[in-house]
């Protein structure tokens, strides 16, 4: 949760942006940030199938990114095959 000081800062920033920029620009900027956030969330989330494969192979997944887990799965499969 944001503190009251942070909220006031955000409101002041929004007011300044509205004064300086056209409303269309703000809408496009907000939409761009929303898409960026969704893409980052999608990249961070590890799907259940990847987790189950890692668990079956005995790979610990705690604290690892999706890419790190996938690399370990590939290494493990290459060493087994």
- Looking at the fold, whether 40 and 55 belong to one and the same domain comes out as no
Q: pLDDT value at position 43?
A: 64
Q: pLDDT value at position 44?
A: 64
pLDDT along the chain (81 residues), means of 10: 86 85 80 83 75 90 86 91 69
- Give whole-number Cα distances, 57 to 46, 63, 67, 74, in Å: 16, 17, 16, 11
- Looking at the fold, whether 58 and 41 belong to one and the same domain comes out as no
- Looking at the fold, whether 6 and 28 belong to one and the same domain comes out as yes
- Looking at the fold, whether 51 and 39 belong to one and the same domain comes out as no
- Looking at the fold, whether 7 and 30 belong to one and the same domain comes out as yes
Q: pLDDT value at position 38?
A: 79
- Looking at the fold, whether 34 and 54 belong to one and the same domain comes out as no
**Cα 81 to Cα 66: distance, rounded to the nearest angstrom:** 22
Instruction: Using the CB atoms, write b or e for 51-68: b if 16+ within 10 Å.
Output: eebbeeeebebeeeeeee
- Looking at the fold, whether 28 and 65 belong to one and the same domain comes out as no
Domain range for 1: 1-45
Number of structural domains in the chain = 2
Residue range 15-38, pLDDT digits in tens: 887 888 777 877 888 898 888 887
**Cα 72 to Cα 66: distance, rounded to the nearest angstrom:** 10
């Amino acid at each position: 949760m944001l503190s009251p000081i942070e909220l006031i800062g955000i409101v002041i920033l929004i007011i300044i942006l509205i004064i300086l920029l056209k409303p269309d620009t703000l809408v496009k900027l907000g939409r761009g940030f929303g898409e960026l956030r969704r893409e980052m969330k999608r990249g961070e989330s590890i799907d259940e199938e990847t987790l189950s494969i890692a668990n079956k192979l005995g790979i610990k997944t705690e604290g690892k990114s999706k890419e790190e887990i996938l690399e370990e799965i590939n290494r493990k499969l290459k060493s087994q095959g």
